[in-house]
Structure 1
Amino acid sequence: MTQPQALAPHPVRPFTGRHMALVMTGFFGVVIAVNVLLANLAVSTFSGTVVENSYVASQGFNGLLRTARAERMLGWQLGIARAASGAVRFTLGDASGRPLRGAAVSARADHPLGAKAPVVMTPREVAPGVYEAALPAGRWHVAVEVRAQGHVWHAEDDAL
């Protein structure tokens, strides 16, 4: 029986300061690159601004509450849906459920996160209490203003 041959030892490279410098540079390079990427994505997707000046916005808050209370007392109702034609259909009714006819309706559609430009619409009445306007496909937050019977009424919906 023959004796197994011993493997020749491989020279072991010592871990030098140069190796440590490369490891540290690589580590911090990855950390900084990830931070820059995430900061860029955060800033480019949502500004975080809800109002420009919170103090000025707070001064009109009680007036907004009074207006909202008066609008709620009207009892008007709004339904928003896509029509078969692809247009947006606004169905308006009064407190007793009767169609709200002859109203001046205006609407503004904003895309969530500002991905698309806002769309201003002036829906026209196509049937008693039913108003339609064109709006591109997609997800939209719609704010509606209705002027009828001497009142101004506002509503918002994320139905689209």
Structure 2
Amino acid sequence: MTTVENMSKDGGFRVTGRLVLFSLIGFFGLITVANIIMIWLAVSTNTGVVEASSYRAGNAYQAELDAAQAQAERNWAVSADVARTADGVAFDISVRDGDGAPVGGLEVSATLASHVSQADDRRVTLAEGEIGRYRGAAEAVVSGNWLLIIDAMRGDDRLYRSENRVMLK
């Protein structure tokens, strides 16, 4: 019969209480440090804040519903052509009323909103060429999936808003 003393004299590996303690402390210490790094990276790269004041946004919700109802009653047909150019993206937007007549005199803007970061958003104010046709271009737009937001204003009144997904290749 061999004893523990004989095994240690032969150069065998011996598990002690101190080895188990330091192994557990090292293992959980490594996991804790990894978690702290991952939490810091997650919080520093994306705060998660979409709306600065959700209370104000909630109060403005009825106004948004009223604007959507008024937009539906206008029965406008808005078509957008988004095309890649050598240095960015070109927008060609046509606005027609319910009878098919072009709607002029609007302040139309197009925003390419990134799904990843608001810092990548591109907003372009379009110029009216012929009546009811608005054109503009955005530079330095990378390929990918974007949200195209079209706003048509007359003074301070928003008459039309559209949000559509576009894929730029």
Query: Does TM, normalized by the shorter one, top 0.5?
Result: yes
Distance 1:22 1:92, change over 3 A: farther
Q: Which amino acid aligns with 1:65?
A: L
Does 107-116 or 19-28 show the bigger shift? Answer: 107-116
Aligned partner of 1:147 in structure 2 is 153
Deviation, 1:83, is 2.5
Tell me the matched-pair count.
Answer: 151
Distance 1:34 1:78, change over 3 A: farther
Gaps of 5+ in 2: 1-6
Distance 2:103 2:69 in 1: 20
Percent identity, please: 25
SS at match of 2:64: helix
Q: Which amino acid aligns with 2:46?
A: F
Residue 137 of structure 1 pairs with residue 144 of structure 2: no
Deviation, 1:151, is 6.9
Distance 1:30 1:146, change over 3 A: same
Deviation, 1:65, is 0.9
- TM-score, length basis structure 1: 0.72
Name the one with the larger strand percent.
2
Residue 34 of structure 1 pairs with residue 37 of structure 2: no
Deviation, 1:128, is 5.2
Aligned partner of 2:4 in structure 1 is none
Distance 1:12 1:58 in 2: 71
SS at match of 2:35: helix
Deviation, 1:123, is 1.0
Distance 1:36 1:122, change over 3 A: same
Deviation, 1:66, is 1.0
Conservation of the 8 A alpha-carbon contact between 1:90 and 1:131: yes
Gaps of 5+ in 1: 1-8
**Aligned-pair Cα RMSD in Å:** 2.9
Deviation, 1:97, is 4.5
Q: Which amino acid aligns with 2:77?
A: Q
Aligned partner of 1:82 in structure 2 is 82
Q: How do residues 86-101 of structure 1 correspond to structure 2 at under 5 angstroms? A: 86-101=89-104
SS at match of 1:15: coil
Distance 2:16 2:125 in 1: 73
Aligned partner of 2:48 in structure 1 is 48
